[in-house]
Structure 1
Amino acid sequence: MIKIKSLCILTMLLLTGYTSHSEVRLPKLISNGMVLQRDTKIKIWGWASPGERLTVKFNNKTFKTITASDGKWTVTLPAMKAGGPFTMKIDGTNQILLSDILIGDVWICSGQSNMVHQMELHSVRYAKEIASSNNPAIRHFWVTNTTNMLAPQQDVPGGLWKKAEPANIREFSAVAYFFADALYQKYHVPIGLINSSWGGTPIEAWMSDESLKTFPDLENIVMRNRDTAFLNQIKKTPANTTGSHPPQDQGLSEKWFDPAYTPKEWRRIAVPGYWEDQGIHNLDGVVWYRREINIPQSMLTAQAKVFMGRIVDADVMYINGKQVGTTSYLYPQRRYTIPGGVLKPGKNLFVVRVTNNTGKGGFVPDKPYQLIAGADTIELTGYWQYKVGLVKVPQRTSTGGGGFAAQNQPTALYNSMIAPLLNYGIKGFLWYQGEANTGKPAQYAKLQPAMIADWRQKFQKPDAPFLFVQLPGFMDMNYLPSESQWAAFREAQAASLPVPNTAMAVAIDAGEWNDIHPDAKKEVGQRLALAAEKTAYHDNKVVASGPVFQSAAIDDHKITVVFNSVGSGLATKDGEEPQEFAIAGADKVFVWAKAKIEGNKIILTNDEVPHPMYVRYAWADDPVNPNLINKEGLPAAPFRTDKP
């Protein structure tokens, strides 16, 4: 019996990864170059052999502990002031020496792609900022994307702390970097950015099982995803109704990118533009574009780049038969550096292979399409030739995993990308997310406060500042007052503001109609920094936001709107009368209002509405000119008074 019991214990230790000779191991976050949170007790933790005695030396102090029976150990360091760099030595069976450690403020940066978007993707707009970045006191840690639908995990699979220097800055989240830079310029305290974000993911993926208990539909999905039978089912390969040999791209087999290829039966098409708008009906597949570009000798002496705007969905670009760039999905702007020796004086063959999987395919309008070399530019807009290389036939799939994406499942990212961070001391949270949830604003108005409460509880920071970005303008502009799902979603985001120690960075003016990832990341980061100054650093003198609706008074034929956060006073960014205000009577038929600033109020009238009752501001997917600001230059938040 004793032998059997001993064997069971040994088996358990082997299965959990711990043996009597396990080396001391640290989580990925506890590593060289880390930033530890100032003015609060600091946890250092890891794993080793059960019962192992460990010593941690840091900042001229020594701390001792013994590993628990499950192989885990924790040392709690006293609160410290900002400073560094320091070293840390951990002694057990083995010795670990960590260097270049700073004490400062640590922010969890999370959300979807607009929090992901790196400085590299906005390198044209922020070329000067990238070139001049040299602040080793700002550190950034990317949490490697991974999912787990079963249970919270103990560690993240990878990541490194990197300094805000030219060699690394292109990898930083643009919003997070500009946030940190603004705070450092004011407070000169080291800033640590832990970026745990994933493009296209919904809020429920970032929430714990406990926080979803009051959302039965989502909780049911959590339970379903833990069912082994279901998980096995979604792994099944979709049925292929086109046979065992999928269709081939004729353009690849015939090498349409090769200058030696002789084009036959190619047709004319405009770039930019979608092919569905130019005589190609409902085509998903591969379309090839080609054009000969004359390049003067003078452009061959400088490094050349080609800008191909945005392409839906994926592309491969060839110049004179050489591949110069490729992008596998629709969102990034195409900015490819052309290797030396590819271009030649005179005619050059430009070929783009475009793959579209659903919806309209082609080149997004209102983006740069240019060849640039030094100070010279050649426009690449205009007519190209096209030919279809592959037509995708819709397929029937099995009932298994069609459309199933693990990263979009409730709790899947909390378990794998938030739970492993919980021991790490932090200052607060930055949250830029929502595009994936715009279809359900009423649900989001409840989900976000639930997540805020849950994260604060899990990190044991009940008052941690939670700063979030309200979605910017996006999609087609409507020149008449209309209903808007995105406007309703912005309202749902703002529903979290009554939660203590929250703040919202308004970005309604920072969007682009044809890009869900607008270039204006610096403005967003700096507005988050202003929110932090007031919410996290308690600077009550700072004007942290633009005008926020307070109340509306009806006086017969006019409505008077009063705002909070007017700063030095109301103004408009273009010096014109306020735009994007609409009013309605009892029938709720909205018309544009004549708006006039009187002190810190807006007076709204329209002769067609003799008895106005309701008012809206910037209530649209992408308002044409939301120009109301305070004199500090911060935009007013969209609002409506006719809430359902």
Structure 2
Amino acid sequence: MNQFRRFLFQISLLVGLLAASNSSLGQIKLPAVIGSNMVLQQQSNVPIWGWANKNQKIQLSASWSNESFEVKANKLGKWMITIPTPEAGGPYSLTISADKKIVLSNVMIGEVWLCSGQSNMEMPFKGFNNQPVYGSNDYIAAGNNSSIRLFNMKNAFAEFPQEDCKGAWAVSSPEGVANFSAVAYSFAKYLQDKLGVPIGVINSTWGGTRVEAWMNKETLSEFGADMTVLGTDKMKFQSPTVLYNAMINPIIPFGIKGAIWYQGESNSNQPKGYTDLFAAMIKSWRGLWNQGDFPFYYVQICPMQNYGKTEGKNTAEIREAQLQTMKYVPNTGMVSTLDIGHQWMIHPPEKITIGKRLAYWALAKDYGFKGIQYGGPVYKSMEIEENKAYLKFDNAPLGLSNMGKELNDFLIAGEDKVFYPAKALIVLRKGLVVWSDEVKNPVAVRYGWSNWVVGSLFDTAGNPASSFRTDDWEK
């Protein structure tokens, strides 16, 4: 059955290519991601591509330049032109000509970001049923903003890589904001406010999906992934490679500044190996875009009590795997959400806060804003003095803070590996001291190591530390 489906796919592809090559109409077709109202990445060489007759000459001109460009479509009718863009501004127009002409209007030059992941990134400002986004009405009411452009991709999955998708660029409006990713729009709005340039966001998300669905077949094959469901009636949107095929491949190589990502809940049952999978996905996307190690900022999954319904499940382990990714993959950054989870909902309502925390990374690392703290404290080292553990942290330039909260959710253990609730105190020049009267000779400390926790450890700007542990014990 699988081979028969592949045969039909190949036949239909061949028929389509022959029809295109034999057409005498000279029509030009553009991918959905290239259209009126789009934002092109400023001060870069951006690809513009599409389809026409085989060997047909394509001409392109842009209203910001006196230069014109020409290319010939290949034997399959595909063509691509790379054009330089100026500093941020607009609106501009693009004219693409063969026997017929396409004019793209209201095009802006600015900063372009891809957002992807599962339902916490997909969640729109209007929320889900009985699940709100705090502050949504204010953002929706202020949604008319010609400097923010939104590309909302339709959900789709496919057995093979697709060349196009369904979606269209739109100028930000109240209705558009209500139906767009709350995290991504909050991120874009904060950047637009601070940078004063047009921002374009491409939303490619689908709830309930594993990281494997967003990876291409070549990358996944290195992990021995089971792909036997592809091309069968058992293939679903969570299947390996199918979202990469339908929702990532069609927008490559559209020029972007970077990507933001929020996913991990669907992989939380199998934390071992997630770091390697996630790192491989990032590396493969970067290779396919051929833009170098573009910025990739992501959100650590939130604590939630309901995870406890699964016996033996501790989502601190997937949070640890996400934290490790930042250490191993260059030009990445993680937002901790340890302080803003919801005890009973997998979709916490503090999406605006998450969007801003992602923007802190971009402003500090990519846009030259000095003095912004981002990411939160990251455990570095531990020293034992008598019955106390002294912990030091990276990425906390002005030290630690409890932000007025009681320091909670610390555990400490001796060589017997039995953990006890611990007290903690922030000590000037010594970092964090942790102890328990039950443990005379401590060897390990854990923080936030459970499904539900409300973070109490921050940098001095209010960015929370991730849950962490100093040990690598199995339990």
Same structural fold, with TM-score higher than 0.5 when normalized by the shorter chain: yes
**Contact (CA 8 Å) 1:163, 1:169: kept in 2 or not?**
no
Which residue is 1:607 aligned to? 437
Q: 1:20 is paired with a residue of what secondary structure?
A: coil
Which residue is 2:427 aligned to? 598
Q: 2:222 is paired with a residue of what secondary structure?
A: coil
Which residue is 1:169 aligned to? 177
Which residue is 1:583 aligned to? 412
Which residue is 2:156 aligned to? 146
Residue type of the alignment partner of 1:154: E
**Contact (CA 8 Å) 2:446, 2:469: kept in 1 or not?**
yes
Which residue is 2:18 aligned to? 14
Which residue is 2:447 aligned to? 617
Q: Report the Cα distance in structure 1 between the residues aligned to 2:341 and 2:303, rounded to whole angstroms.
A: 5
Residue type of the alignment partner of 2:193: Q
Q: Report the Cα distance in structure 1 between the residues aligned to 2:15 and 2:276, rounded to whole angstroms.
A: 45
Q: Could you tell me how far 1:551 is from its partner in structure 2?
A: 0.8
1:500 matched to 2:318? The reply is: no
Q: 2:34 is paired with a residue of what secondary structure?
A: coil
**Contact (CA 8 Å) 1:484, 1:619: kept in 2 or not?**
no
Q: 1:549 is paired with a residue of what secondary structure?
A: strand
Q: 2:190 is paired with a residue of what secondary structure?
A: helix
**Contact (CA 8 Å) 2:20, 2:53: kept in 1 or not?**
no
Give runs of aligned pairs for residues 188-587 of structure 1, distance below 5 A. 188-216=196-224, 218=225, 221-222=226-227, 224-226=228-230, 231=232, 234=233, 404-476=234-306, 485-498=314-327, 499-539=329-369, 541-573=371-403, 575-587=404-416
CA deviation string 1:381-433 (max 9, x = no partner) = xxxxxxxxxxxxxxxxxxxxxxx452111110111111111120111111100
Which of 51, 55, 67 pairs up with 1:51? Answer: 55
1:94 matched to 2:100? The reply is: yes
Which of 624, 632, 637 pairs up with 2:461? Answer: 632
Which residue is 1:32 aligned to? 36
Identity of aligned residues (%): 39
CA separation of 1:576/1:510 partners in 2, compared to 1, >3 Å: closer, same or farther?
A: closer
Q: 1:441 is paired with a residue of what secondary structure?
A: coil
Q: 1:120 is paired with a residue of what secondary structure?
A: coil
Q: Report the Cα distance in structure 2 between the residues aligned to 1:483 and 1:627, rounded to whole angstroms.
A: 25
CA separation of 1:118/1:454 partners in 2, compared to 1, >3 Å: closer, same or farther?
A: same
Which of 61, 73, 76 pairs up with 1:70? Answer: 76
Answer 1 or 2: which has greater helix percent.
2
Q: Could you tell me how far 1:214 is from its partner in structure 2?
A: 1.8
Residue type of the alignment partner of 2:25: H
Larger radius of gyration: 1
CA deviation string 1:536-562 (max 9, x = no partner) = 334453211222111111112100011
Which of 120, 137, 158 pairs up with 1:127? Answer: 137
Residue type of the alignment partner of 1:182: Y
**Contact (CA 8 Å) 2:143, 2:176: kept in 1 or not?**
no
Q: Report the Cα distance in structure 2 between the residues aligned to 1:436 and 1:477, rounded to whole angstroms.
A: 11
Q: Report the Cα distance in structure 1 between the residues aligned to 2:250 and 2:280, rounded to whole angstroms.
A: 20
CA deviation string 1:496-529 (max 9, x = no partner) = 1121100000011111111111111011100000
**Contact (CA 8 Å) 1:20, 1:50: kept in 2 or not?**
no
RMSD: 2.0
**Contact (CA 8 Å) 2:412, 2:422: kept in 1 or not?**
yes
Q: Report the Cα distance in structure 1 between the residues aligned to 2:426 and 2:29, rounded to whole angstroms.
A: 63
Q: Could you tell me how far 1:476 is from its partner in structure 2?
A: 4.6
Which of 178, 182, 190 pairs up with 1:182? Answer: 190
Q: Could you tell me how far 1:441 is from its partner in structure 2?
A: 0.5
Unaligned runs of 5+ in 1: 1-9, 235-403
CA separation of 1:576/1:37 partners in 2, compared to 1, >3 Å: closer, same or farther?
A: closer
Q: Report the Cα distance in structure 1 between the residues aligned to 2:204 and 2:351, rounded to whole angstroms.
A: 18
Q: Report the Cα distance in structure 1 between the residues aligned to 2:134 and 2:189, rounded to whole angstroms.
A: 19
Q: Could you list the runs of 4 or more consecutive aligned residues of structure 1 that deviate by over 4 angstroms after TM superposition?
A: 10-13, 15-18
CA deviation string 1:129-156 (max 9, x = no partner) = 221233211111011111112x211111
Which of 76, 79, 91 pairs up with 1:85? Answer: 91
Q: Could you tell me how far 1:209 is from its partner in structure 2?
A: 1.1
For normalisation by structure 1, the TM-score amounts to 0.67
Q: 1:189 is paired with a residue of what secondary structure?
A: coil
Q: Report the Cα distance in structure 2 between the residues aligned to 1:18 and 1:609, rounded to whole angstroms.
A: 80
Unaligned runs of 5+ in 2: 1-13
CA deviation string 1:224-275 (max 9, x = no partner) = 245x6xx2xx3xxxxxxxxxxxxxxxxxxxxxxxxxxxxxxxxxxxxxxxxx
For normalisation by structure 2, the TM-score amounts to 0.90
Q: 1:214 is paired with a residue of what secondary structure?
A: helix
**Contact (CA 8 Å) 2:140, 2:175: kept in 1 or not?**
no
Residue type of the alignment partner of 2:82: T
CA deviation string 1:79-115 (max 9, x = no partner) = 4221111011112122111111011111110000111
Residue type of the alignment partner of 1:638: S
- The more displaced of 10-19 and 513-522 is 10-19
**Contact (CA 8 Å) 1:483, 1:620: kept in 2 or not?**
no
Q: Report the Cα distance in structure 1 between the residues aligned to 2:201 and 2:94, rounded to whole angstroms.
A: 20
